[in-house]
Amino acid sequence: MPGTTRAYYRRLFPWDADRYAAHLKALTPQGRRWRFCGTMSDGALEEHAARALDTGHVEGCFLDGKLIGAFELFIDPEPPGHAQVALSVDPAQAGQGLGTELIARARRRASLLGAPEIDLTMAGDNLAMIAVARHAGAPIVRSGPEVGATVAVPPPDLSRLPAAIALDEASLVQSLSAAMLRAGRAAVARAMARPAMLRAAFARPRIRTA
Ligand SMILES: CC(C)(COP(=O)(O)OP(=O)(O)OC[C@H]1O[C@@H](n2cnc3c(N)ncnc32)[C@H](O)[C@@H]1OP(=O)(O)O)[C@@H](O)C(=O)NCCC(=O)NCCS
């Protein structure tokens, strides 16, 4: 795991959409294609990030304040409990076990949300994701250019519920404090820029003297 002692995990909320979109945009072009099974423009990634945070459970790993990995978990109403997960890891942090850790966390959360298993779909040449699915004990099934894997979810353990609620509450506080800090910094930067703008606006034209 990258910087095990410094990295922390928390849930992402709708006001984290810009940070989540920035993380997705930082994937390599191939990583972007693998993540979304096709091409996605920056604008489409921004829309996706906002939608995912509105509708699903998204958890991220932060290192030195930067979002370096995330999973999206969606539980379908039909069939009940059917879950899907998608992962993304910053290319600079790949191959250090973060993908494996994210899927373990997605399994624990899916268990608490009542999903019996998680479906993964990935491109047949996405060897890193296939390795992550194998680490999670999922049998790999090839169908055409894609590969499917079903990850078993442990039965719900209600003794974990208070810890999950506490994690969500802590995530909310951290996320709101970070958002307020960013807004505060932006306001200070605007205020600092204002005198320069005013000086420029009221600057007297220079009069050349012979
Ligand atoms: C797939 C992804 C999430 C994996 O994240 P990660 O942090 O690198 O995953 P891990 O470090 O836990 O494991 C990666 C495994 O893949 C293996 N791997 C990496 N590249 C590989 C390659 N080219 N060939 C074979 N195995 C490879 C690693 O050796 C490792 O296996 P190991 O632990 O047995 O050594 C990350 O590469 C990513 O974000 N890819 C782009 C987006 C994507 O494809 N998302 C999945 C769509 S569902």
Which tens digits make up the pLDDT trace of 85-140?
999 999 999 999 999 999 999 999 999 888 999 999 999 999 999 999 999 999 99
CB-based contact 113:57 (threshold 8 Å): yes
Atom of ligand 1 nearest to the CA of 30: 41
Tell me what pLDDT residue 29 has: 96
Number of separate domains in the chain: 1
In a domain, 167, yes or no: no
In a domain, 144, yes or no: yes
Atom of ligand 1 nearest to the CA of 90: 39
> Among 132, 140, 146, which is best to mutate for testing ligand 1, by the most ligand atoms less than 8 A from CB?
132
Mean pLDDT of 162-190: 84
Mean pLDDT of 7-36: 96
Residue 89 Cα to ligand 1 middle (Å): 9
Nearest CA to ligand 1 atom 4: 99
> Among 9, 30, 34, which is best to mutate for testing ligand 1, by the most ligand atoms less than 8 A from CB?
34
Residue 31 Cα to ligand 1 middle (Å): 10
Task: Name the band, by pLDDT with cuts 50, 70 and 90, for residue 5.
Answer: low
Atom of ligand 1 nearest to the CA of 126: 44
Mean pLDDT of 19-43: 96
Q: For residue 38, which of 29, 47, 26 has the smallest C-alpha distance?
A: 29
In a domain, 181, yes or no: no
Residue 9 Cα to ligand 1 middle (Å): 19
Task: Name the band, by pLDDT with cuts 50, 70 and 90, for residue 40.
Answer: very high
In a domain, 113, yes or no: yes
Tell me what pLDDT residue 139 has: 92
**Does the structure show a pLDDT above 90 at 2?**
no
Q: What is the CATH number of the domain that holds 97?
A: 3.40.630.30
Range of the domain at 150: 8-155
Atom of ligand 1 nearest to the CA of 34: 44
**Alpha-carbon Rg for the chain in angstroms:** 22
Residues in contact with ligand 1 by the CB-under-6-Å rule are 27, 31, 34-35, 86-89, 94-100, 120, 122, 126-129, 131-132
**Is the sign of the CA dihedral 44, 47, 52, 55 positive or negative?**
negative
In a domain, 19, yes or no: yes
Helices (H), 26-148: 29-36, 42-55, 98-112, 127-135
Instruction: Give the H/E segment covering residue 57.
Output: strand 57-63
Q: Output the average pLDDT for the chain.
A: 89
Residue 148 Cα to ligand 1 middle (Å): 16
Percent of all residues in the chain with a pLDDT value above 90, rounded to a whole number: 60
CB-based contact 88:31 (threshold 8 Å): yes
In a domain, 177, yes or no: no
Checking DSSP bridges between strand 83-89 and strand 117-123, what pairing results, if any? parallel
Tell me what pLDDT residue 140 has: 92
In a domain, 198, yes or no: no
In a domain, 174, yes or no: no
Task: Name the band, by pLDDT with cuts 50, 70 and 90, for residue 163.
Answer: confident
Tell me what pLDDT residue 110 has: 93
Torsions phi, psi of 170, nearest 5? -65, -40
**Does the structure show a pLDDT above 80 at 195?**
no
**Does the structure show a pLDDT above 60 at 3?**
no
Helix (H, G, I), strand (E, B) or coil at 87: strand
Token duo for residue 174? 């951290």
Q: What is the pLDDT of residues 132-154, one digit of tens each?
A: 999 999 999 988 888 999 999 98
